[in-house]
Structure 1
Amino acid sequence: MEIITTHINADFDGLASMVAAKKLYPKATLVFAGSTGRPLRDFLSQDIRNLYGFKKIKHIDLASVTRLIVVDTRQAKRLGPLEECLENQGVEIHLYDHHPDAPGDMEGDVEHIQAVGSTTAIFVALLRAQGMTLFPDEATLLSLGLHEDTGSFLYATTTPADLQAAAWLLEQGADLDVVNQFITKDLSAEQIPLLSLLLENAMTYTVHSVSITVSRLTLPAYVDDFAVLVRRMMIMENLDALFSLVCMGERLYLICRSRIPEVNVGIIAREMGGGGHAAASSATIRDKTLFEAEEELLYLLHRHVKPRAMAGELMSSPVITATPEITHNQANDLLARYNINVLPVVRDNTDRKNPTGLLGIISRRDITKAIAHKLGDMPISEYMTTDLAVLPESATQADIQELIIENRQRLLPIVRDNIREDIPKNAQGEKSEQGTCAVICGVITRTDLLNLLLNDPGHLPRDLFHEDEHPSSERTRNISSLMTDTLSRDIIFLLREIGEIAQDLCMQAYTVGGFARDLLLQTKNLDIDIVVEGDGVLFAKELAARKQATVRTHEKFVTATVMLADGMRIDVATARLEYYAFPAAMPTVENSSLKQDLFRRDFTINALAIHLNPERFGTLVDFFNSQNDLKERRIRVLHNLSFVEDPTRIFRAVRFEQRLDFKISRHSEKLMRNAVRMHMYEKFSGPRFFSELKLILGEDHPLASLRRLDSFSLFPVLWPDLRPNLKIDRRFVHILTQTEKTISWFKLLFLEDAGEQSTRCKTWMVCLLAVFSRSREQELRNFCQRFELPPKHRRQLLLQKRKADHIALHMLRRPTAQHAEIYWLLDSLENEGLLYLMSIARKKHIRQQVSHYVSHLRGVQPFLSGQDLMELGYTPGASFRMMINYTLSARLNGEISSKEEAISLIQQKYPVDSPSF
């Protein structure tokens, strides 16, 4: 294992150097040796930790570290717990540092030590020498490291190499506005009281739901570099937008800073006679008093601050609705089926995508009370809430916030803007009696609003969290740079083309599930699953037509599979929701939205999506805080009845836990044990359970998963015929361990010929045979019947077990068998039977004989063919096979080595003039 680290209390130079080192050591893992400084914690809260795959020390096996790459220090005592790695036998030490030599410095196998202003400059030179390029975000991070350790190139330690590095980083797209936000200068004794005055005279205004701070100050004389104080105040108070009106002597100045797109300070400064860009600007104001300037500033803020529309993006669609005549009992069934708490009531919902005539809403609480009062058969129109407000798709966050929080409306219907011009609405979007024919295009819940507020780092109380436990502040972020860095060009082009097709069809396309999960984990996964908000089957047909591929559709489940010319398979599904009529039932599928589609999935780590449409390509969608579970390496279900609805998820939880080296959360584990204790598996469908078991047995290390299943008392479920002493005992562990080693040996042996039919093997079948190695054939037969295995697999399993068990006994007594005997003994076994035989072998000579057969003997061919025998004068018949096999045995035993010797041997053994020939 390789890890990259820096000193404890890491700074920007250390962080930037770690990320740069990752470019040179792509397989290494980034690990902080200890805590980080406050500015660095603020920077890391932007999810850079997830983007670059940082790991905690507690997730690292320090004893397995074989290479330690240390940046920005050479002092072992500054590595914290990672100092233990230095004791590992044979560990390589690679050092990158700019500090002067000091007592206690480590010595490295590779050293890049230079007297420059920052370690970042060393890495920039190395990256340039290798012809590498950076993404703008990476260039910005490295610029932060340069500016911090060189004091923005004012420290005496600054060298020409630092300035050359800065110039190259600017060419790579470094954003100096970000550098300005995080790199601060020490204030002088004269500046500190001025900063206090600036803070005391600040007032916060809310303009179109955006918080804007304005500070007024009068000073007797001009103060140089006052913008430094404005920037420092912005950082200290974590402000999104700050306007400082400062009267210095006889002149009035405006200094503006913003880090949000809703406030473009350049426009406002130009309106007041100045200039600048969107994030920083200034103006010198003439012929106005301080109060007149403030009045004009507030007017311009209300005119130019225009927050983007939120409702259309935030809403969930299509909407689950009910008509007024259904009963409370029926409405209660709908709430349970779709796992929702409020039902909009409409006049007509025959077109589910466009239900019309909003009449009111009814909540689970009201329905439950009505049923408790014996009113379950009454229509919901009698007790629904009719006094409610609606909003258009163009509504802003302020509109949503006012209705949900201030008006305490728990569900907010979103209607189309231009349904009918004659429908009057007030400023809050409240509908009138004439407005009840509006078409509902989505709904927003209180949870949706909470997620929106959490998505804004300004609403997040960071000081309440330890840096390593800080949750992901961004539920939606763009990871296109990570995609470009991780995926091949062909895959990127394919995903972009998929997004363009969706755009042309007026649909939204996402890649979901394991592909998105493994991309964030930086693990290779080319199983592309596409979810389309629209008609997935129509989309798949269009994709197949453009790529000249074949398509197979599944109309019942509104899914399709596209097979590209190069063999790649793309699964396409319509965004859908599933509900279960009873525990362990097959799900019923209906079209839905992306959010509901992700909610139906098994675990949070599989409920991620990446937008593919051109305007939002690479945007990660995370409704369920899945990024935190990835960061914490945690398996967590999406709702408490998950294992009741589908008990096969127990097997999936165990498989993901072992494959990804994650940990099932304590609550999810409790829910799993509850499902086992309630015997939910007794209602299972055999093939569905076996599909999950087959995936577990097909993993590289199935024994770990089987041990975990046994900890949940699931062995009686899987193999009720096994006697108690045939569970996880020492012999069982030995056999399964030997099976894993045997399969690994087989895969490595035929790595280059993996496509050959003779080198293919159903590894799950080998493991299953190993599990039943000490059982009778009848017990395996019962298992096949219970799990409804296909007849072909049943026959293969039973036949290979019967033959291999018999051969194992024979070979046990023949430690010195000749090659021909081994060949004819093993010739009837398929790859699965051969590997099973090697796994159960009690003696070393059996494994050696089978191994020799697989790697050397099996491919041996006889020197003679039937045509050769006819040319020698033999009459075709059953004896031909006997003669050919005779020469093959002689060749295997080394008795002959050429065709001529084979002919001589045949003529001696079977003379042509013999009556038999």
Structure 2
Amino acid sequence: MRVITTHTNTDFDGMASMIAAQKLYPDGVLVFPGSQEKAVRDFIAQTLLYRYQFLKAKQIEPSRVTSLVVVDTRSSQRLGSLDACLQNTDLELIVFDHHPKADGDLLGTSEVIRDVGSTMTLLAEILQQQGIEISSEEATIFTLGIYEDTGSLTYTTTTPDDLRAAAWLLECGAKLDVVTQFISHDLTSHQIGYLNDLMKNAKRVTVQDLEIVIATLSLPIYVDDFSLIVQRLVNMENLDVLFAIVAMAGRTYLIGRSRIPDVNVGAIARDFGGGGHASASSATLADIGPIEAYDQLIRSLQRHVRPQAIAREMMTSPAISVVDDATLYEAQALMTRYNINAMPVVPRRSARQEGSEPIICGIISRQMVERAVSHELGNQPVQDYMASDIEVLSLNATLADIQEIIIEHRQRLIPIVHDRDIKGIITRTDLLNRLVNEPANLPKNLLHEAEHPSLERSRNLSHLMSGCLSSPIVELLQTIGTIADQFLFNAFVVGGFVRDLLLRKANIDLDIVVEGDGIAFARKLGQHLGGRVREHERFGTATIILPQDLKIDIATARLEYYEYPAALPTVELSSIKLDLYRRDFTINAMAIQLNPEHFGRLVDFFNSQNDLKQMAIKVLHNLSFVDDPTRIFRAVRFEKRMDFTIARHTERLIRNAVKMNLFGKADDPRFFTELKLLLNEENASPALERLAELGLFPFLWPDLKPHLSIDRRFRHCLVQTQRSIAWFKLLYLTDRYEPWIIYLLTIMSRSSMTVLANFCDRFQLPQRNRTMLLSEKQLADNASHHLSARSELKNSDIFVAFRELHIEGLLYLMAVARKTEVKKAVSAYVTTLRHQAPLLNGDDLKQLGYRPGPPFKKMLEALLLARLDGLTSTRDDEIAFLNDYFPLSDGH
């Protein structure tokens, strides 16, 4: 593999040069050798996440690297653990660097080294010379690299080449406002003085419950780049919104910065004849002074600032509640079932209908319930121990409303009500997730520098969808969202589709979840698309079958809970959040909204993006394998197929589930379904070895003899199975086969028919599969024994021994046969013998004078066996054979 890397503590020049080098070497993998500067980490988290796939050095096996592209350094000591690649034989080393020569520098197979301000300058020249097109986004990234290493083209090391490269990048669409946002500048002593004066004159005003800082300053001279001072104040004080009104040299300037969506400073600047973006803007006020500008700014803020009503969006629905006269034991059972720590207490429906009771009586917490139960008060009504002094909000509540109740009033959850009904609840966790979505609200210095979790758990992936998916699939998803809007439903594509999209892999297995009636939605969508609809009323699901065998699975958002360990799930309606929570692993617990207004919006409640980046398989809660032990098979399958790693805690939960012997507590065909999927993987051997390592073989095959554990002999069988399947694939024949049957027969190769039958019964295999397994094993074992006993094998012997076997049985025999002669026999039969037929047929026999009847079959088979053994080769030979062995006689 080819790796593109740079130095540890990567700066913008190193990161930009890596991306530019990938334009020259598209097969190269981007690998950070160590940590990155904070500004680079922020830029990746806020701007580049999922646009480029950066790997860590620990995710690379150095011995596999055949080509190493190193940018912005020539020192092996700055490559971190990737310096191990330098030991590889015949390594191609390509170096791009602008630093002065030093002792011990790497000597590349190919080098581009010159004394310029930044390495990115060298790569920009090459891209321009080779006519390689770059996007506006790429031009911006490349400009960041040049500007950082040249001090925005002001350092004495800056060369004319740097300016020419920057000019070309600007022509390609580089956005200097983005560059300015991320390139830090050291302030001069004069600028520091202006910054202090600005801080002293800053006032905080509240507009529509939002706190906005306005700072005013008057200076006798014009100061260049005053926006840098404003940006420094925003960063130092962690301000959401700042407006600076600065009078300089007879003119008044307005500079705005915003880090929240509620305040669009660009729109406000346009009121003053200026412009800019939602987050950064400026305006020059030629005819008014600072005091008048301040008054106009306040009026403009009153017009433009409209806090977003987000309660409807943030809430979890439906709200799990308990009636006021329920016992504490019943409340405890509800909390355990739905894995919640607090819930609203409501009056009985009859009292609410009369209107004499409030909509909500109070809130009961898990801590209070458990303390009361510990005092043997479990039979007491909930209303005796609930917190009754609570606040509720409407669907139109703003973030400020929610923060006030949860943070200032210390209320752990807020019921959201409408028309005297609870529509949902907002918890402290919901508020925290919302705040994390806004980078301005997250104390970034708390993040460990080796970890880079997404600062946005709800981001738009429409650009990624357009780049990775075909136009018909994107249009189909847009159609689904449009139809959902007609029903006033929210529609999401979920699961593996989202996971693979973020991994930049195309996946057209469309699993759609709607917050509403999934079956009614499927009927309408199927009618619109002209597809056939299969409904499953019991589960609230449907499947739409379109031309070209494209399927769309539609499900109603639902919550599953389990009455006891390993039980089949009980299904209830829920919101998308609860629907995702029931998923198996975090990497499969993401969704993309399809409604037109929010098309492409990623929904990630569980920081799944970070687990995907870390290539980690994690469960969503600690009872996941207790609820459904079959998820263990899925975990192993994903680990081996995707080259991920089961997280340490998740593996511990697997081992706990194995110790609990949960596999023996459910008569559940899902076990076989998952095992079948695992055995149908491209190479099932690593997954089988992992199952054995986790101690699962005694549960799957309790009747196996000890020597059939995962020892050297058994590994050899698995390797031979993989080889036999690979051999058959290389023949490019049209025969269809099921790999799981071959692997299962191999595993049971030394077991009796009774043991195999017990396996089929224990896992409730369909009768067709049961018959197939037993028949193939018996036929193959008999054939192997029969052929092994012969000192010389004729083709006819091989044909008779194998003709009743399917491809699965033949490949099983190829895998387990010890004698080379048997393997050769299988090869001959599959490739040649089974396709042979006599030259004469039934019509020919009738023309020769034979009377039709049962003897015809015997005669034709004799002709075939003779042809296989080379006794006949022409029609005349076959006629002579008939005359010798089946002579015509009177009445024949």
What TM-score, normalized to structure 1? Answer: 0.88
Query: Equivalent of 2:661, from 675, 679, 694?
Result: 679
Question: Which of 774, 777, 785 does residue 798 from structure 1 map onto?
Answer: 774
Match for 1:389: what amino acid? Answer: E
* Range with bigger deviation, 528-537 or 9-18: 9-18
Residues of 2 paired with 1:347 and 1:194: CA distance? 61
Q: Where does residue 124 of structure 2 map in the other structure?
A: 121
How far residue 884 of structure 1 moved from its aligned partner, in angstroms, is: 3.2
1-structure distance, mates of 2:164, 2:863:
76
CA distance change for structure 1 residues 160 and 858 in 2, over 3 Å: closer, same or farther?
farther
Question: How many angstroms apart in 1 are the aligned matches of 2:332 and 2:120?
Answer: 68
Distance apart, 1:316 and its partner CA: 0.9
Q: Pick closer, same or farther for the CA change 1:846–1:405 going to 2, 3 Å.
A: same
Displacement of 1:539 after TM fit?
1.5
Measure how far apart 1:797 and its partner are.
0.7
Contact 2:480 2:525 (C-alpha < 8 Å) held by counterparts: yes
Counterparts of 2:870 and 2:705, CA distance in 1: 47
Equivalent position of 2:363 in the other structure: 362
1:309 corresponding residue in structure 2: 309
Q: What number of residue pairs does the alignment pair up?
A: 882
State how far apart, in whole Å, the 2-side matches of 1:128 and 1:25 are. Answer: 14
Instruction: Report deviation, 1:87.
Output: 3.1
Which residue does the alignment assign to 2:464?
482
1:881 aligns with 2:840: no
Counterpart amino acid of residue 685 in structure 1: D
The correspondence for 2:703, drawn from 721, 724, 731, is: 721
* Residue pairs, 1:366-765, within 5 angstroms: 366-416=368-418, 419=419, 438-750=420-732, 756=734, 759-765=735-741
What amino acid is aligned across from residue 321 of structure 1 in structure 2? S
Q: Check if 1:773 corresponds to 2:755.
A: no
* Secondary structure in 1 matching 2:525: helix
Q: Which moved more, 1:614-623 or 1:76-85?
A: 76-85
Residue 503 of structure 1 and its aligned partner are, at CA, apart by: 1.5
Aligned-partner Cα distance in 2 for 1:57–1:277: 38
363-372 vs 398-407, greater mean Cα deviation: 363-372
Asked whether the equivalents of residues 584 and 683 of structure 1 are also in contact (C-alpha less than 8 Å), the reply is yes
Equivalent position amino acid for 1:358 in 2: I
Pick closer, same or farther for the CA change 1:210–1:865 going to 2, 3 Å. farther
My pick for the range that moved more, 391-400 or 334-343, is 334-343
Cα offset for 1:141? 3.1
User: Which is further off, 196-205 or 805-814?
Assistant: 196-205
Q: Could you tell me which runs of 5 or more consecutive residues in structure 2 were left unpaired when the two chains were aligned.
A: none
Residue in 2 that maps onto 1:16: 16
Contact 1:550 1:564 in 2 (8 A): yes
Q: CA deviation at 1:17?
A: 4.1
- Following superposition, the deviation at residue 848 of structure 1 comes to 3.2
Q: Structure 1: how far apart are the matches of 2:568 and 2:47?
A: 38
Q: Could you tell which deviates more after superposition, 821-830 or 525-534? A: 821-830
CA positional deviation for 1:303:
4.8
Report how far residue 802 of structure 1 moved: 1.1
Letter in 1 for 2:360: L
Deviation at 1:837, TM superposition (A): 0.6
Offset at 1:656? 2.1
Tell me the distance in 1 between the aligned counterparts of 2:130 and 2:480. 34
Q: Kindly report which structure 2 residues correspond to 1:289-328, keeping only aligned pairs within 5 A, or say none.
A: 290=290, 293-294=293-294, 297-298=297-298, 300-328=300-328
Q: Give the CA deviation at 1:326.
A: 3.2
Instruction: Tell me if the contact between 1:96 and 1:112 (Cα under 8 Å) persists in the aligned partners.
Output: yes
Q: Structure 1 residues 690 and 195 mapped into 2: Cα distance closer, same or farther (>3 Å)? A: same
8 Å Cα contact 2:265-2:281 kept in structure 1: yes
Change (3 A) 1:703 1:117: closer
| Equivalent residue for 2:165, pick from 162, 166, 188 | 162
In the TM superposition, what whole-angstrom CA distance separates every residue of 1:429-477 from its partner, at most 9, and x where no partner exists?
xxxxxxxxx2222110111111112222223222233332132211111
Corresponding residue number in structure 2 for 1:268: 268
Structure 2: distance between partners of 1:902 and 1:113 = 83
- Equivalent pair of 1:51/1:520 in contact (CA under 8 Å): no
Aligned to 1:336: 336
1:426 corresponds in structure 2 to none
Letter in 2 for 1:386: S
Aligned to 2:640, the other structure's residue is in SS state helix
For the 8 Å contact 2:243–2:254, the answer to whether it is kept is yes
Deviation at 1:65, TM superposition (A): 2.1
CA distance in structure 2 between the partners assigned to 1:558 and 1:481 by the alignment: 32
Give the C-alpha shift of residue 787 in structure 1.
Answer: 1.3
Structure 2 CA distance for partners of 1:842 and 1:113, relative to 1, 3 Å = farther
Tell me the residue number matched to 2:215.
215
Q: Is the 8 A contact 1:603 1:638 kept in 2?
A: yes
1:760-781 per-residue CA deviation (whole Å, 9 max, x = no partner) reads 1111111111111111111111
The one-character-per-residue Cα deviations of 1:92-148 (angstroms, maximum 9, x if unpaired) are 45566678999846444798999896255257548954xx674x6555434534554
- The answer to whether structure 1 residue 822 and structure 2 residue 798 are counterparts is yes
1:652-692 Cα deviation digits (max 9, x unpaired) = 22222222222222322222222222222221124122222
**Deviation at residue 573 of structure 1 after TM alignment:** 0.8
State the SS of the aligned residue for 1:46. helix
2:450 is paired with a residue whose SS is: helix
SS of structure 2 residue aligned to 1:365:
helix
Aligned twin of 2:55: 55
Distance 1:600 1:631 in 2: 22
Distance 2:529 2:283 in 1: 56
Cα deviation, residue 647, structure 1:
1.9
Question: Are the aligned partners of 1:17 and 1:123 in contact in 2 as well (CA < 8 Å)?
Answer: no
Cα deviation digits, residues 368-413 of structure 1 (max 9, x gap): 4444455444443444443321112221111100001111111111
1:752-799 deviation line (CA, Å, top 9, x unaligned): x6xx4xx21111111111111111111111111111111111111111
CA distance in structure 2 between the aligned counterparts of 1:742 and 1:320, rounded to whole angstroms: 55
Q: Could you tell me which amino acid in structure 1 is paired with residue 528 of structure 2?
A: R
Question: Which residue of structure 2 lines up, in the alignment, with residue 783 of structure 1?
Answer: 759
2:514 alignment partner, SS class: strand
Q: Which amino acid aligns with 1:361?
A: G
Query: Cα offset for 1:811?
Result: 3.3
User: Residues 402, 843 of structure 1: CA spacing in aligned structure 2 closer, same or farther, 3 A cutoff?
Assistant: same
Distance 1:156 1:537 in 2: 66
Q: Bigger CA drift: 612-621 or 149-158?
A: 149-158
Contact 2:484 2:521 in 1 (8 A): yes
> Would the aligned equivalents of 1:634 and 1:662 in 2 still touch at CA under 8 Å?
yes
CA RMSD, Structure 1 to Structure 2 (Å): 3.4
Q: Structure 1 counterpart of 2:621, which letter?
A: H
Q: Is the 8 A contact 1:574 1:591 kept in 2?
A: yes
Structure 1 residues 697, 300: CA separation in 2 closer, same or farther (over 3 Å shift)? same
Determine the C-alpha separation between the residues in 1 that align with 2:417 and 2:264.
30
The residue type paired with residue 333 of structure 2 is: D
Match for 1:842 among 793, 818, 832?
818
Task: Report the CA distance between 1:230 and its aligned residue.
Answer: 2.7
Q: C-alpha offsets along residues 30-51 of structure 1, whole Å, 9 cap, x if unaligned?
A: 2112332232122022273444
SS in 2 for 1:158: helix
* Maintained 8 Å contact 2:324/2:361: no
- Inter-partner Cα distance in structure 2 for 1:341 and 1:911: 87
Q: 1:771 to 1:302 in 2, by over 3 A?
A: same
Cα distance, 1:445–1:905 mapped onto 2, change above 3 Å: farther
Name the stretch that deviates more: 208-217 or 633-642: 208-217
Letter in 1 for 2:263: V
Per-residue CA distance 1:187-246 (angstroms, 9 max, x = gap): 556545444554565555565565544434343433233233334444565544332233
Output the CA distance in 1 between the equivalents of 2:14 and 2:163.
Answer: 20
Instruction: Give me the identity figure in percent.
Output: 50
**1:330-358 Cα deviation digits (max 9, x unpaired):** 33322222222333233466999xx9961
